[in-house]
Amino acid sequence: MRVRKLEQAGDDPPIVRGVVRPTCVEEVAAVVKDAAARHQPLVPVGLGSNVVGALVPRGDEIALDLSGLDRIRGIDPVSLVVRVDAGVRGASLEEALRRRRLTLSHAPQSLGLSSVGGWIATRSSGATSTRDGSIERRVLALEVVLPDGTIVRTPEVPRASAGPDLAALFLGSEGALGVITGAALAVRRRAAERRFRAFALPGFAVGLEAIRGIVQDGWLPAVLRLYEEAEARRFLRRPAEALLVVVHEGSGPALDLEERAVTDRCLHAGGLALGEAPARAWWRRRFEAAFLHEAERPGSVADAVETAATWAGVGRLADRLLTSLRPLARALHLHASHFYASGASLYLTFFVEADGPREALAAYDEAWRRALDACVEEGAALSHHHGVGRLRLPWLEPSLGSGIDLLRRIKVALDPEGLLNPGRLVPPEERQE
């Protein structure tokens, strides 16, 4: 978003010095080793759907384009494991699995625009994460090229108690600790039946409390999405203070029991059953990101803040975000879409109007400052599933606290010259102290 505003203002954002496009792990290792010998910074690039500035260059790097690593290496229907190159497009992987009546059950909004490696590098979440977990639950093993060109392959086992989980080190590493080149992922069989339900609820806070009861009682529908009034209008013909979209998947009595338990909880909270239509409307449009079109008008800007907090604080965090950004924004849309026994994520989309691109950029920066200050001060996650990138980097240290020193030590141990994805994950000036 920032780059688009700069272009509209007539500025020329920095570009990389060059692009290298390997097609296998051995070629990646050779490129990384050569770059280390030349003291040349590298930026690993997947399919480029990141929205937090992770790919915005400084101007001295070479882009390591991983889209050439696009092979599905094999599907094991006995173990329910798929082995893939990191550059495989999400939608292509899901289609290959669908033909085997399987699914990864990881469908972020960017499914057709993002790669497996990008998901892993940012710890992404998909629409069914409440039931299936996020990408970390799918990863069995990783293949990674370290900053010196060494190829590391972690054991492909369902679980181990043999020291720390080395694969987990690279989940969320955003290309700063190593180049992810391949993965073994757990898949599951496709559901026999899918049911859609929707409920109008008397307020966003009431909806959160109903969902807390659902998940803490042990019911985990494939999809739970709670929209406050402004965003609920996208799916409803009638006004509602809050809309809850539910998708149940499964078969037989277990599916019936889950549906009944969720319905009872919603009705007990004062909800009104709306049938299937609003939920089906969401399902058809679940990969849309219409707010991004706001960037095409020079004086307009829009973006989304995603965070997470425990149940004890998530309602207060929602109020704080809305109160902080309302004076700046033409409109605010809030929903919650990933739930846990201990808490929930929030997703706030803000829309800003200004006189021109530079004014819009200033308002954009101020909106993000207010939002991330609120997240840090409320003890919430700096990001739930988009990652840190350049956008959130100044807030990483106050968010992690003393943990930032451990992260710096890991970075220095693996990449002492800071050549891999410099300026991401660990601020370079902090790392060199």
Residue with tokens 């990141």: 50
Distance between CA 163 and CA 309 in Å, rounded? 29
Domain termination site, one of 189, 222, 246: 189
Asked whether residue 334 falls in the same domain as residue 376, the answer is yes
pLDDT at 431: 37
Residue among 53, 199, 54 nearest 117 (CA): 54
411 is in which domain, residue-wise? 395-428
Number of separate domains in the chain: 5
Q: Do the bridges between strand 42-45 and strand 62-65 make them parallel or antiparallel, or are there none, so unpaired?
A: parallel
Cα–Cα distance for residue pair 35/149, rounded to 1 Å: 9
- Give the DSSP per-residue string, 351-388: EEE-SSHHHHHHHHHHHHHHHHHHHHHTT--S-SSS--
User: In which residue are the tokens 């173990």 written?
Assistant: 79
Cα–Cα distance, 266 to 264 (Å, whole number)? 5
Same domain, 76 and 148: yes
**What pLDDT was estimated at residue 296?**
73
Q: What angle do CA 343, 377, 49 make, to 5 degrees?
A: 65
The rounded Cα 88 to chain-centroid distance in angstroms is 17
> Which pLDDT score, from 0 to 100, does residue 6 have?
63
Q: For the chain, first and last CA: distance in Å?
A: 31
What is the rounded distance in angstroms from the CA atom of residue 262 to the CA atom of residue 264? 5
The pLDDT value recorded for residue 7 is 65
Secondary structure string (H, E, C) spanning 9-57: CCCCCCCCCEEECCCCHHHHHHHHHHHHHHCCCEEEECCCCCCCCCCCC
In this predicted structure, what is the pLDDT of residue 433? 40
- Long-range (24+ apart) CB contacts under 8 A made by 286-295 are 286/107, 286/109, 286/127, 287/109, 287/110, 287/111, 287/112, 288/109, 289/109, 289/110, 291/333, 291/349, 291/351, 294/351, 295/1, 295/4, 295/5
Beta bridge mates, 250 = 193
Of 238, 213, 209, nearest in space to 226 by CA: 209
Instruction: Please report, for the domain that includes residue 237, its CATH number.
Output: 3.30.70.3450
Helix 311-325 / helix 204-216 crossing angle, nearest 10 deg: 150
Domain boundary among 189, 215, 233: 189
- Residue at 145: amino acid letter: V
- Say if residue 76 is in the same domain as residue 181: yes
Q: Is 158 left (phi over 0), alpha (psi -120 to 50) or beta?
A: alpha
Q: 92 and 59 in one domain?
A: no
Please tell me whether residues 147 and 209 are part of one structural domain: no
Whether residues 138 and 242 share a domain: the answer is no
CA dihedral 302, 308, 311, 317 (to 10 degrees): -40
Name residue 110's amino acid: S
The two counts, helices (H) then strands (E), for the chain are: 16, 17
Distance in angstroms (rounded) separating the CA atoms of residues 252 and 256: 7
Tell me, what's the pLDDT at 290?
Answer: 65
Do residue 179 and residue 75 come from a single domain? yes
Q: Which of 166, 189, 212 is the last residue of a domain?
A: 189
- Helix (H, G, I), strand (E, B), or coil: what is residue 274? strand
Same domain assignment for residues 183 and 211: no
pLDDT tens, position by position, for the chain (433 residues)? 666 656 676 777 788 999 999 999 999 999 999 999 999 999 999 998 888 877 787 889 999 999 999 999 999 999 999 999 999 999 999 999 999 999 999 999 999 999 999 999 999 999 999 999 999 999 999 999 999 999 999 999 999 999 999 999 999 999 999 999 999 999 999 999 999 999 999 999 999 999 999 999 999 999 999 999 988 888 887 778 999 999 999 999 999 999 999 999 999 999 999 999 999 999 998 888 766 666 678 888 889 999 999 999 999 999 999 999 999 999 999 999 999 999 999 999 999 998 888 898 999 999 999 999 999 999 999 999 999 988 899 999 999 999 999 999 999 999 999 999 998 888 655 434 4
Please give the backbone phi and psi of residue 422, each rounded to the nearest 5 degrees, phi first: -65, 145
DSSP 398-426: HHHTTHHHHHHHHHHHH-TT--BSTTSSS
Query: Residue 292: its pLDDT value, please?
Result: 66
